Structure 1
Amino acid sequence: MPNNQIDYIEFKAPDLNAIKTFYSRCFGWKFTDYGTGYTAFSESGVLGGFELSKEPILKSVLVVLYHKNLAEIQQKIMENCGQISVDIFTFPGGRRFHFIDPAGNELAVWSDK
């Protein structure tokens, strides 16, 4: 997988069953559940998922980039006026962190390494 490319888009939803029903009926998307708080979608043109959230949805989309070396890209982000908003954490399938770009947008970077 190439570095520095948009790889995944993540949304929030207060009801995963309702959101899965909506997108599967309207657009034919397929879903894979990862526990009770997350579902990934496919058949949409780009991979992505929905995270269960009971908080009001203010930032609705999280764009996720891929990089094989999280420490390297995290350092580069900080050196170029980006701020780390969520430190590196592990999830099923890999690790990731979130950052705020100089314009205030939050994105994430993940790695399967």
Structure 2
Amino acid sequence: MTSSQHHRIDYVEIPAADLEASKRFYAEAFGWEFNDYGPDYAGIRGPGDREAGGLTPHGPQHRGGGPLVLLFSADLDASVAAVEKAGGRVLQGPYAFPGGRRFHFADPAGNELGVWAES
């Protein structure tokens, strides 16, 4: 199992208007397995791998983009400050979610990414 590393791409969320149909597709096409977190979220695991992404009907289609890339942070508040200092714009958060805290930001080109931390 690979551990999370500071500011490495860590998790990707893929929009899935029909969660069950998307799970069937990815399971068949790529052998992915899923951790179900209720009716609106399924964590993605490749065979034998740790969870590396998720399928969500509440994802990027509401932001006008593709999958949401999430970076891991050892210090979320420092990452918020670094994003703002570098010219990014915080769009949401920091906020709590099951497993930690995260925030979303827009880079100067308007791409939205997220950053999460365990606490």
Q: TM-score, normalised by structure 2?
A: 0.86
The TM-score with structure 1 as length reference comes to 0.91
Q: Structure 1 segments of 4 or more deviating over 4 A?
A: 54-57
In structure 2, which of residues 26, 31, 36 is the aligned counterpart of residue 28 of structure 1?
Answer: 31
Task: Mark the runs of 5 or more structure 2 residues left unpaired by the alignment.
Answer: none
CA RMSD of aligned residues (A): 2.0
Deviation at 1:104, TM superposition (A): 0.9
C-alpha contact (below 8 Å) 2:15/2:60 kept by paired residues = no
- Give the number of aligned pairs: 113
SS at match of 2:26: helix
Q: How far 1:68 moved relative to its partner?
A: 1.5
Structure number having the greater strand percentage: 1
Q: Percent identity?
A: 39
| Letter paired with 1:97 | F
Shift of 1:34: 0.9
The equivalent of 1:109 in structure 2 is 115
Change in Cα spacing, 1:42 to 1:111, as seen in structure 2 (3 Å) is same
Partner residue of 1:99? 105
Q: CA deviation at 1:56?
A: 4.7
Q: In the TM superposition, what whole-angstrom CA distance separates every residue of 1:67-87 from its partner, at most 9, and x where no partner exists?
A: 011111101110111000111
